[in-house]
Amino acid sequence: MPAWIMIAAGAQLAQGLFGASASSTAANQTLDLARSNVSYINQEAEEQKRRLKFTHSRTRATARATQAASGFTSGKKTMGASARAYQKTLKDVQQSELDWITKSAKSRADITLRGGQMQASQLRTQGTGQLFGGVAGAASTLYKGFG
């Protein structure tokens, strides 16, 4: 058996194994990156909500102070709305803003994670193809050498 046949077959097999290993590593790194991005998206949304809650509380306090200074008292009708109803509406609108930030962040996080999973899956499939290509190449070389 010529030594060059064994060396060539071994090189093809090693190339397939190396390609599969590199693809698997890249897939894991892709998933790790996607998970890190999801974490960042969630942290960013929480910070946005924290800041918005602070702004909301200042807006409600200013509205209460303005109402008190103007004589716009709770329970008395002025221009079709009571102070209490106005405060409730304001709070509801502000809560919907906070809910939207949560929903938007969840959507972005889901898309980011799914994208990472898809890329990782493609890399793993590519690695499997490289492995089988290396095995097939090695088998072909051996067959030709001993055929």
pLDDT value for 81: 62
Confidence at 21, pLDDT banded by 50, 70, 90? very high
pLDDT value for 86: 85
Which residue in 68, 49, 45, 58 sits closest to 90, CA to CA? 58
Q: Convert the pLDDT of each residue in 26-51 to its tens digit.
A: 999 999 999 999 999 999 999 999 99
